[in-house]
Amino acid sequence: MKMTVKIQGMMCEHCVHAVKTALEELDGVSAEVTLKDGTAVLTSEGEINAARVRAVIEGEGYTVLDIA
């Protein structure tokens, strides 16, 4: 499964690292987080729970604008 998340509030590479690390703690999820685009592209062999992804990102202090 692949999921793209639009994130607001990331200002630097530290933010990118914090989001990537938090997302990759989800079981089986790999994340590519891009500061320029303000996106995270998640991949997993199994299902990715959008509500859980939103909770993880918002738990780091950022705003989820869209999940596709």
CB 33 within 8 A of CB 20: yes
* Residue ranges in the chain modelled with pLDDT below 50: none
pLDDT in the model for residue 27: 94
Instruction: Count up the domains in the chain and report the number.
Output: 1
Q: What is the CATH number of the domain that holds 45?
A: 3.30.70.100
Q: Which domain holds residue 50?
A: 2-67
For residue 2, count CB atoms less than 10 angstroms from its CB and return exposed for 0-12, middle for 13-18, buried for 19 or more: exposed
CB 42 within 8 A of CB 5: yes
Name the pTM for this structure: 0.94
